[in-house]
A and B are shown apart, each in its own frame.
Chain A
Amino acid sequence: MEPLGVGIVHNPALSDLLRADPFVVDYLSVTPEAFWVDTEDGPGASRFAEIASMVGVVDEVARHRPVVAHGIGLSIASAGPVDEGLLDQVARWHDRYGLLWYSEHLSYTTVTVAKGRERRIGLGLPPPYDQEMLDLICDRVATVNDRVATSFALENGVTYTDMPEQEMTEPAFFNALAERTGCSVLLDLHNLHTNVVNGMADATEYLDELDLDAVVEIHIAGGHEVHGFHVDGHTGRCPPQVWQLLEDVVPRCRNLRGVTFEFHEGRFADLGETGVREELAQARAIWEAARCR
């Protein structure tokens, strides 16, 4: 599949820039759940009330640039039922925008509090990397593949706690998942960096163990400190260590299609359009250098 280049995850602070210059990126990543109100009621499309003013931006950019989806609502590692209505809505977006791939987070954000009652945590918690969880997620990935007719990728997450007695490492979990389901990997280098800083991972070991041929997209971002921990706050510019990881790993990912910059809209005042362009330019320089090798 054709490599794309450098993209950005949409947030409302970018609307004016993307409207004025959609070619500032090679592709646009959108978080679909930010573009609709989920009434959690009613069948089919009627459940999701799309926010017209926001969807308009995607319509405009999609005329010039490919679009990929980076979801946050699937909660693929939940033990509860899969939200098939959400998948059908993503499938409708795929029909509309021709999503090149759909990605989600390898975490759970929804828990079952009683039979038939699910609740959102509002925070993605990492699953334990055990065979039971692998089997569960493989089944859920199969459901995604059945309902959304585009490639699917899962993103490595951040953990601020160390789960004991796990049966496999996170890279081994991803490798098994890719082998059994064909699921790709969205390698978030700032998440990896965050885990390294917090003593939860070793980047070299992680990247040596992960099957980098499964990586279809890389995320880069910045973070900040909370209670002595580095957190993945998407708080502006990427730290030097993330750029170093990107330089190291891009040449090794033979099926990589894009590098995506993400930042929280609240940081746009500090970053500005100039800062956004500079981060994209730096990512593009690394991308181009790797392709020239």
Chain B
Amino acid sequence: MSLTGFQLAMADAVTSPTLCQGMSDGDPAVLDRYDLTERERRRVVAVAGQRGMTVNSTLYWANRLALLIRTMPLTCKALGTGLPAAAARYWSEAPYALLQFHAEAIRFAAHLRGPLADGALLADTIAVDLAVLDMRLSPDATAPRWRVVRVHHDPETVLGGGSGVPARVPAGEQWLLVETHGEEIAVHRVDAATGRGLAGAGPSPAGIERPETVTVLHLGTPTR
């Protein structure tokens, strides 16, 4: 059915500036990729060359970027001015978005972690973001509203509070207890034994001392 080819061509025009330009130029090498009737071919060429395609593309990338920022806020903040380039590299590998923000965040996280060295600071930040996201999207209202995350760097730096300061790699294991209270995410430093116990599906942290609250994050519920 040529309609599928036409729709794919229009989608590619939105997601790929290179393909869009090729379509606008009437490049047979580009247009012949798609099963198009003659009318559809004329339409693709005409539409791809319109200024409004820039708006479509901008909205497409803005939507995808907003989703990443909403679901991985600490990671995106840690990337700083490198975020646009990191997002562009990710999108070059994954030109089509996943509708579900949870899956998109996990895929983005996997992409970022790929080239990271073991124990990299960004890996710690990613781990906290994924723990928070997993907790907030829990389908079970009775499920624990906490997660425990092991990090390799000073927690304040991992959570963005120590920006501009070289990340310390403290001696010993670093464990964070992340728990929700309404729209707040409280992050507490816990000792290694407690962290390992909680990670091993031990008792709930209900009675556990929280001697140090590293930070309280205010994050809206992620949405599409």
In the complex, which residues of chain B have a beta carbon less than 8 angstroms from the beta carbon of A205?
Answer: none
Tell me if A40 and B100 are in contact (CB < 8 A).
yes
Given contacts A12-B220, A123-B59, A165-B42, contact A51 B47 (CB under 8 A): no
Q: How many A residues have CB within 8 A of the partner chain?
A: 53
With beta carbons under 8 angstroms apart, the residue of A34, A123, A159, A265 that contacts B63 is: A123
Of B10, B141, B223, most A-chain CB atoms within 10 Å? B223
B138 at the interface (CB under 8 A from A): yes
Given contacts A52-B141, A111-B8, contact A122 B43 (CB under 8 A): no
User: In whole angstroms, how far apart are the Cα atoms of A132 and B15 in the complex?
Assistant: 26
Give residues 145-163 of A contacting B (CB, 8 Å). Answer: 159-163
With beta carbons under 8 angstroms apart, the residue of A12, A39, A119, A164 that contacts B46 is: A164
Of A40, A160, A198, most B-chain CB atoms within 10 Å? A160
Tell me if A37 and B139 are in contact (CB < 8 A).
yes
Given contacts A121-B14, A164-B42, contact A50 B139 (CB under 8 A): yes
Tell me if A160 and B100 are in contact (CB < 8 A).
no
Tell me if B55 and A226 are in contact (CB < 8 A).
yes
Closest CB-CB distance, B25 to chain A, in whole Å? 17
A277 at the interface (CB under 8 A from B): no
User: In whole angstroms, how far apart are the Cα atoms of A157 and B80 in the complex?
Assistant: 35
With beta carbons under 8 angstroms apart, the residue of A122, A136, A227 that contacts B64 is: A122
Given contacts A53-B221, A165-B39, contact A120 B99 (CB under 8 A): yes
Q: Label chain A's interface by main secondary structure.
A: mixed
With beta carbons under 8 angstroms apart, the residue of B14, B64, B136, B223 that contacts A125 is: B14
Give residues 71-119 of A contacting B (CB, 8 Å). Answer: 72-73, 78-80, 108-109, 111-113, 119
Give residues 214-234 of A contacting B (CB, 8 Å). Answer: 226-229, 231
Tell me if A112 and B58 are in contact (CB < 8 A).
no
A128 at the interface (CB under 8 A from B): yes
Given contacts A37-B139, A226-B59, contact A119 B96 (CB under 8 A): yes
User: In whole angstroms, how far apart are the Cα atoms of A121 and B10 in the complex?
Assistant: 10
B50 at the interface (CB under 8 A from A): yes
User: In whole angstroms, how far apart are the Cα atoms of A161 and B137 in the complex?
Assistant: 37
Q: Label chain B's interface by main secondary structure.
A: helix
- Nearest residue (CB) in B for A72 is B224
Given contacts A136-B3, A161-B52, A161-B53, contact A121 B11 (CB under 8 A): yes
A33 at the interface (CB under 8 A from B): yes
Tell me if B47 and A163 are in contact (CB < 8 A).
yes
With beta carbons under 8 angstroms apart, the residue of A109, A133, A231 that contacts B3 is: A133
With beta carbons under 8 angstroms apart, the residue of A52, A120, A136 that contacts B139 is: A52
- Nearest residue (CB) in A for B3 is A79
Tell me if B7 and A112 are in contact (CB < 8 A).
yes
User: In whole angstroms, how far apart are the Cα atoms of A113 and B10 in the complex?
Assistant: 12
A54 at the interface (CB under 8 A from B): yes
In the complex, which residues of chain A have a beta carbon less than 8 angstroms from the beta carbon of B10?
Answer: 111, 125
Tell me if A79 and B139 are in contact (CB < 8 A).
no
Tell me if B141 and A53 are in contact (CB < 8 A).
yes
Query: Which positions in B face A, CB cutoff 8 Å?
Result: 1, 3-4, 6-8, 10-11, 14-15, 39, 42-43, 46-47, 50-56, 58-60, 63-64, 96-100, 102-103, 136-141, 220-221, 223-224
Q: List 22 A-B contacts (CB under 8 A).
A: A13-B220, A15-B221, A37-B102, A38-B100, A49-B137, A52-B139, A53-B136, A54-B221, A56-B141, A109-B99, A119-B11, A120-B98, A121-B60, A121-B96, A121-B97, A122-B60, A165-B39, A165-B42, A198-B52, A227-B54, A228-B51, A231-B59
